[in-house]
A and B are shown apart, each in its own frame.
Chain A
């Protein structure tokens, strides 16, 4: 072998390689550490699988705002409500996330619970209403269709929104008989409906229109009521909290209204308190609470007391706080995947990945011969690092591997291999120019480096933007693609290139052995040796 051509800055490819491998070991040591710490029994050594790979239910809801704009804060609040609703159904381990600026995704691993969609996806609209008639003795016998239709028509025939707050208050304090004459037919119809109202989930699915009176019940007590049109909208609720006041043992719920809501509340409580009148807070046609007004509240800060437990108090406070959200939800998708289907999808993804990897490696060995081993080592290292990162990200930020994610990883094999190809071709170009392999590696690298960086930057941009904007299956795919692009850069810079530099010093590659992929014949350089001093490997004829 020729004496090393000194004069250039001496690099230490061996040291870079060792550092890189040390980094890789550290990555897995970290995962091992997490695994030991992890008490959940899930373990850190297997990736977190998405629903499509382990079975389960995914519900996608699309939020729509009445005033047109779904803000991030709005959506996050909605996510909180939905999370709470899901928990209320008794489903544990559900994960509720937001996507793409207006989607809320509920994922329930391992369970087939598409049935909860109606409960969790209902519209959250809260109103304060006056109790026009309480403790209706309901027969629970549904009205026949014609009577029901006639009653509904009678209610809708009058313009309830023309009533002033004072008139509505009078409707409670001085009975509904005090309302103007044109409303009396509607009142009669409401009473008729109330008597037929059974406090069942079916009946409770009433249409809750803010400017119309409503017949509904409190599902906790079963009390059926006729309620006035809304006097205060839920959006006037500034906050609500549960707590035990000093010197008391009972849980209470504090509620705070904004200026406009507070003013109305002032009027309402001022009129109701003398007669111990009640008002009701209604969420989606369902009475959350219907407290008696015991005090004239002038500052918008009220306290609801009663037989609350900690749980019921916190629940009500949350409902009051979040129920005000001006968002409605549309069901975009409910997918329930059984374990068998999920299993075969996982299997297909793994087989496809293995087959794809082997094919690329075979092609690498076939075309690049000895250099194919470099492809093999680099792809292997890239695969191991990627797997490690998938594990780590699964632990750190809950990244789950989905079928599109696996597809992304498989597609990335090609893009990763391309970096090696760009590098090899550049090195071979330099060898063709007549450089010795050691110099060719350095010169080829200088040129390949910028190409690889630019191309990977474009690829990463594509993945990043897809991830930010996309919804549904696209995200897992984009994440995998972006991740592997970064791994690709890492591997090419810290593994493949140093490895080439080291190999260039070996006899096998440095002198262009027949099987190295760098021999004269293979490069198509006729009658020329790869390095000046090596014995002729024999030109192609």
Chain B
């Protein structure tokens, strides 16, 4: 643990620095590949829609032991009702003593008929969930409305809070990135999409932005008054911010993923498939992607957009020129500065901004 802390200290001072901003093209490329892959997955496989999006009835039967023989018993019982919609039920076990059975659309009377059949085939308790054909569409429609309102408000909020439209844009790009990739993972893996999954997706929005706001706040702090600095440029300060919040990002991700992981494991262990699993899975995938994007996507984009600002660009040029001159006249300076980036920084061998602690400065 001490090692991670030392690492944290080095990240903070800039002694160790990962060039998140400078190597943005690499991350963009990685993300572009992932996004394209996701789009392809969506195109090729589509999403596996749960019963809530198709309509039908799901019966959850409690049995003594859920094994292949009791599964067969219940399937047979359902088929023997002679109902068309129940002629090819999807049956699977879920936990030790629960069997789920899905049929097509049934009326209330027919549902009662199937329940009776299942009970006489050994089910002690039969819960039913009848879903109308338009329920899923309605859930999705409402979710989409909420999503649009949310995005508009958040764009305004971030713009107002950071006084910087570029950060709004960057946060939105990161958000879209998270959603697309999460959806892509669902398409490729064939995980079922249920209303609980949609809930998970929507929560990811909040989480992804939450994470981004924390990093942006540090960026803002580091770049305050940047234009009057003679030694630091915007991108480097932004990169320093990502590095300085890296330990927090790692810790946050771990603490966020731990309970979600617990939810996932317990959800599957105790209940088998069900809303708990769907929700936790969407969150787990989305949070992992969200952490990635706030580090690798959001800040680089914000920095890149900011560097296009004429004032910032002029300032950056000035500082770089001065730096080149300074290097020529005081070549020995480097040796007095201990904080050299471990990973050599990106384009043009830019130096990372350096901070040394007061003690170090005093000591040397």
Contact = CB atoms under 8 A, between A and B. Distances in A.
Contacts of B259: 352-353, 356-357, 359-360, 410-411, 413-414
Instruction: Give the interface centre of A330, A359, A425, A468 by most chain B CB atoms within 10 Å.
Output: A425
A540 B2 contact: yes
Given A338-B125, A469-B142, A352 B203 contact: no
Given A332-B135, A341-B127, A524-B8, A470 B146 contact: yes
B271 interface: yes
Given A330-B132, A462-B209, A470-B142, A425 B62 contact: no
A439 interface: no
Contacts, number: 284
B206 A458 contact: yes
A459 interface: yes
Contact of B262 (A355, A447, A474): A355
B153 to A, nearest CB: 6
Given A451-B214, A474-B195, A331 B206 contact: no
Given A341-B60, A422-B214, A466-B146, A434 B198 contact: no
Interface residues of B, number: 91
Interface of B is mostly: helix
Given A451-B217, A525-B9, A359 B199 contact: no
B130 A335 contact: yes
B62 A474 contact: no
Contact of A477 (B10, B98, B247, B279): B279
Interface of A is mostly: helix
B128 interface: yes
B85 interface: no
B28 to A, nearest CB: 24
B210 A414 contact: no
Contacts of B205: 462
Contact of A363 (B210, B211, B254): B254
A384 to B, nearest CB: 17
B252 A411 contact: no
B264 to A, nearest CB: 8
25 contacts: A62-B134, A332-B132, A334-B130, A336-B128, A338-B125, A348-B269, A349-B276, A359-B258, A367-B251, A404-B199, A404-B279, A410-B260, A413-B259, A418-B252, A421-B251, A422-B248, A434-B357, A450-B217, A454-B213, A455-B214, A458-B158, A461-B206, A468-B146, A473-B199, A474-B198
- The 6 A-B residue pairs with the shortest CB-CB distance, nearest first, are A462-B206, A356-B259, A524-B9, A414-B256, A524-B6, A469-B146
Interface of A: 60, 62, 100, 103, 114-115, 117-118, 330-341, 344-345, 347-349, 351-353, 355-357, 359-360, 363-364, 366-367, 403-404, 407, 410-411, 413-415, 417-418, 421-422, 425, 428-429, 432-434, 447, 450-451, 454-459, 461-463, 465-466, 468-474, 477-478, 481, 521-525, 527-528, 540
Interface of B: 1-2, 4-10, 12-13, 60, 62, 95, 98, 108, 111-112, 124-132, 134-135, 138-139, 142-143, 145-146, 149-150, 153-154, 157-158, 161, 195-196, 198-199, 202-203, 205-207, 209-211, 213-214, 217-218, 221, 244-245, 247-248, 251-252, 254-263, 265-267, 269-271, 274-276, 279-280, 283, 357-359, 363
